[in-house]
A and B are shown apart, each in its own frame.
Chain A
């Protein structure tokens, strides 16, 4: 299958390890004319997007524009009707969701999907599934390298948890965590799969302004520490405009604008999509 090995966890906090921005090399994510029909309905059409290494990109649009559908296409939860997806230069066509994850793409969900009956640390260890070297025989007998594999897994999981301040909750049942912590745990679990691009589906949903501020810090930290790209869906414009380097606006399944935050803010088509037409008078700054 893939020749790509997930990159080893960058030792942090060592910001010196951040790779040089190099958008000319193979992009982390590249889609060409991606589209999907559900019966007669075209949910997403002609979606072409390129996300470079260590780029923070935003995907915005009104409700029902097809943003989450795009995420589901990128992770092969839905098979696209048209177009192609390249992750780190590898086509994801015909691969299962699990195989696509191994190409280096990880995601969180709009409605939190934790393994809610399992402990916090076990959630993270599930994320590390493919990098834990433990055979079925080792698992059944608790020997043949079981102890070493578990020790490494526990240590790395604790490191990752500490990264987002969850280390004190490691033993708790994940379903019992407060909302904000559950959102952070989902990010940690996604990071544990060693991704090269992280998809965040409305990470700030249900958060107050100070929590959102903290989340922005965390997202930047993740990019800087792990040297990965991040693509996020978000309705909170202060977050999107604050941290995204590139923004893609979706409406009725089609891209209506792409560009920097400033360009998007001034784009009349985008304003129209969000606020509707205003009898000739357009007020750019909302």
Chain B
């Protein structure tokens, strides 16, 4: 019996420490930038990017739920982002004189997330009967439809865009909310992955027929994933919207969806930590390449190809595994244990 229990704890352990590393990584990163921002040492360039990077992290992690965990390709993620953004920002504008930002921003994020989740349900119900390429194209079309509807609505300011001057906030104000949102999203996603529901979702990804035969309601889980993913995308949109003085719906087209998808693929399917790192790299890269001006997009594209090739190479994966943070910690721990043993 004792042997069995030991096994079961061993089973939980690697996953737990993996998640812990991710949490620590986010905490350290945000700790540093928060220090820089609030001590006034952050460059204008950096502090301008922080909110958008945070929003992209949340968008990528939430899309990873659909692409990496469920294994379905969705090309309409920007649609959910914009639905959340516009509904949340409208709430925020309406309550700007009534509520302080500490209550207004979470409330509007919640509203934006919920509206996006409703859209996720509405689009998911018919679309999730499809698989693979067909689903990808339908979600692409849905994203474009959402964009066009918002462009033609009066309440969102039409093609000129929504004037969010009233609710615009600087990085210093938004950063705490961004940090909390990123933390909540990553923790929720990592928790889900390591639960009954997450296992069911991954089972559908690996083998739908076998999953059905083991009693898993495929439609229910596909919808749940779609709704959850849309919720976080919407909340990220609201955060994103507060960092601009004017938002045009045309910005949320398939280009943005693809951009988020690139982050997910680059970071690794199903890997939360990978999505976070990739989101940072792909947001910082275009800024860092600014000095190349004309060749900026060319260099960006070439770098993207190189990173993708590296990611697909088994040799690089082995190298990455050897120098990973988890491995390093294990190594240190082992050495420590050995030292302790030597002392005795």
The chain A residues found within 8 Å of chain B, CB to CB, are 75, 77, 96-98, 101-102, 106-107, 109, 113-118, 121-123, 125-127, 129-130, 132, 134, 136, 138-142, 146, 149-151, 153-155, 158-159, 162, 167, 170-171, 189-190, 192-193
Question: Which among A98, A125, A136 has the highest number of chain B CB atoms within 10 Å?
Answer: A98
What is the bound-complex CA distance between A113 and B197, given in angstroms? Answer: 20
Given contacts A109-B210, A153-B196, 13 further A-B contacts (CB under 8 A): A77-B209, A77-B213, A101-B214, A106-B213, A113-B210, A115-B211, A118-B202, A126-B200, A134-B195, A134-B197, A140-B192, A140-B195, A167-B4
Provide the residues of chain B in CB contact with A146, threshold 8 Å.
195
Contact B215–A98 (Cβ < 8 Å): yes
Query: Shortest CB–CB separation between residue A77 and chain B, in angstroms?
Result: 7
Within the complex, which residue of B199, B202, B209, B212 is in contact with A96, where a contact is CB–CB below 8 Å? B212
Please give me the residue from chain A that is nearest to B218 by CB atom.
Answer: A98
B217 interface residue (CB < 8 Å to A): yes
Contact A121–B188 (Cβ < 8 Å): no
Contact A136–B224 (Cβ < 8 Å): yes
Of the 9-residue stretches B8-16, B130-138, B283-291, which lies at the interface with chain A? B8-16
A98-B212, A126-B216, A154-B11 as given contacts; A115 in contact with B195, CB under 8 Å: no
Contact B11–A121 (Cβ < 8 Å): yes
Contact B210–A97 (Cβ < 8 Å): no
Contact A115–B192 (Cβ < 8 Å): no
Question: Which among A107, A140, A153, A159 has the highest number of chain B CB atoms within 10 Å?
Answer: A140
Provide the residues of chain B in CB contact with A134, threshold 8 Å.
195-197
Contact A154–B196 (Cβ < 8 Å): no
Contact B191–A193 (Cβ < 8 Å): no
B207 interface residue (CB < 8 Å to A): yes
Within the complex, which residue of A123, A129, A159 is in contact with B216, where a contact is CB–CB below 8 Å? A129
Please give me the residue from chain B that is nearest to A119 by CB atom.
Answer: B11
Provide the residues of chain A in CB contact with B218, threshold 8 Å.
98
B58-99 interface (Cβ within 8 A of A): none
Within the complex, which residue of B195, B206, B216 is in contact with A139, where a contact is CB–CB below 8 Å? B195
The 10 A-B pairs at the shortest CB distance, nearest first, are namely A139-B195, A101-B215, A115-B206, A113-B210, A97-B212, A134-B196, A139-B197, A154-B8, A126-B203, A142-B191
Within the complex, which residue of A102, A118, A149 is in contact with B196, where a contact is CB–CB below 8 Å? A149
What is the bound-complex CA distance between A167 and B7, given in angstroms? Answer: 9
Provide the residues of chain B in CB contact with A102, threshold 8 Å.
215
A-B residue pairs in contact (CB < 8 Å), sample of 24: A75-B213, A98-B218, A101-B215, A106-B213, A109-B213, A113-B209, A115-B202, A115-B207, A116-B207, A122-B199, A126-B200, A129-B196, A129-B199, A130-B215, A134-B195, A136-B224, A139-B197, A140-B191, A140-B195, A142-B194, A154-B8, A167-B4, A192-B214, A193-B214
Contact B199–A125 (Cβ < 8 Å): yes
What is the bound-complex CA distance between A273 and B324, given in angstroms? Answer: 61
Query: Shortest CB–CB separation between residue A227 and chain B, in angstroms?
Result: 20
Within the complex, which residue of B7, B196, B198, B206 is in contact with A117, where a contact is CB–CB below 8 Å? B206
A97-B212, A98-B218, A106-B214 as given contacts; A125 in contact with B11, CB under 8 Å: no
For B, the interface residue count at a CB cutoff of 8 angstroms equals 33
Main secondary structure of the interface of A (DSSP, over half): helix
Query: Shortest CB–CB separation between residue B186 and chain A, in angstroms?
Result: 12
B213-268 interface (Cβ within 8 A of A): 213-218, 224
Query: Shortest CB–CB separation between residue A129 and chain B, in angstroms?
Result: 6
Query: Shortest CB–CB separation between residue A171 and chain B, in angstroms?
Result: 6
Contact B11–A189 (Cβ < 8 Å): no
Provide the residues of chain B in CB contact with A114, threshold 8 Å.
206-207, 210
What is the bound-complex CA distance between A170 and B9, given in angstroms? Answer: 12
Provide the residues of chain A in CB contact with B203, threshold 8 Å.
115, 118, 123, 126
What is the bound-complex CA distance between A23 and B9, given in angstroms? Answer: 43
Question: Which among A75, A115, A127, A146 has the highest number of chain B CB atoms within 10 Å?
Answer: A115
Provide the residues of chain A in CB contact with B196, threshold 8 Å.
125, 129, 132, 134, 139, 149, 153
Question: Which among B12, B194, B196, B216 has the highest number of chain A CB atoms within 10 Å?
Answer: B196
Contact A139–B202 (Cβ < 8 Å): no
Contact A171–B209 (Cβ < 8 Å): no
Query: Shortest CB–CB separation between residue B331 and chain A, in angstroms?
Result: 20
Query: Shortest CB–CB separation between residue B202 and chain A, in angstroms?
Result: 6
B1-33 interface (Cβ within 8 A of A): 4, 7-8, 10-12, 14
Provide the residues of chain A in CB contact with B205, threshold 8 Å.
117
Provide the residues of chain B in CB contact with A159, threshold 8 Å.
4
What is the bound-complex CA distance between A75 and B215, given in angstroms? Answer: 11
Provide the residues of chain A in CB contact with B7, threshold 8 Å.
158, 167, 170
A141-B191, A155-B8 as given contacts; A98 in contact with B217, CB under 8 Å: yes
A115-B202, A155-B4 as given contacts; A126 in contact with B192, CB under 8 Å: no
Query: Shortest CB–CB separation between residue A75 and chain B, in angstroms?
Result: 6
Provide the residues of chain B in CB contact with A150, threshold 8 Å.
12, 195
What is the bound-complex CA distance between A252 and B191, given in angstroms? Answer: 51
Provide the residues of chain A in CB contact with B4, threshold 8 Å.
155, 158-159, 162, 167
What is the bound-complex CA distance between A130 and B196, given in angstroms? Answer: 9
Please give me the residue from chain A that is nearest to B195 by CB atom.
Answer: A139
Query: Shortest CB–CB separation between residue A11 and chain B, in angstroms?
Result: 14
A-contact 0/1 string along B173-210, CB 8 Å cutoff: 00000000000000010011011111110110111011
Contact A107–B200 (Cβ < 8 Å): no
Provide the residues of chain A in CB contact with B202, threshold 8 Å.
115, 117-118, 122
Query: Shortest CB–CB separation between residue A65 and chain B, in angstroms?
Result: 22
Question: Which among B4, B192, B206 has the highest number of chain A CB atoms within 10 Å?
Answer: B206
Within the complex, which residue of A97, A117, A138, A155 is in contact with B213, where a contact is CB–CB below 8 Å? A97
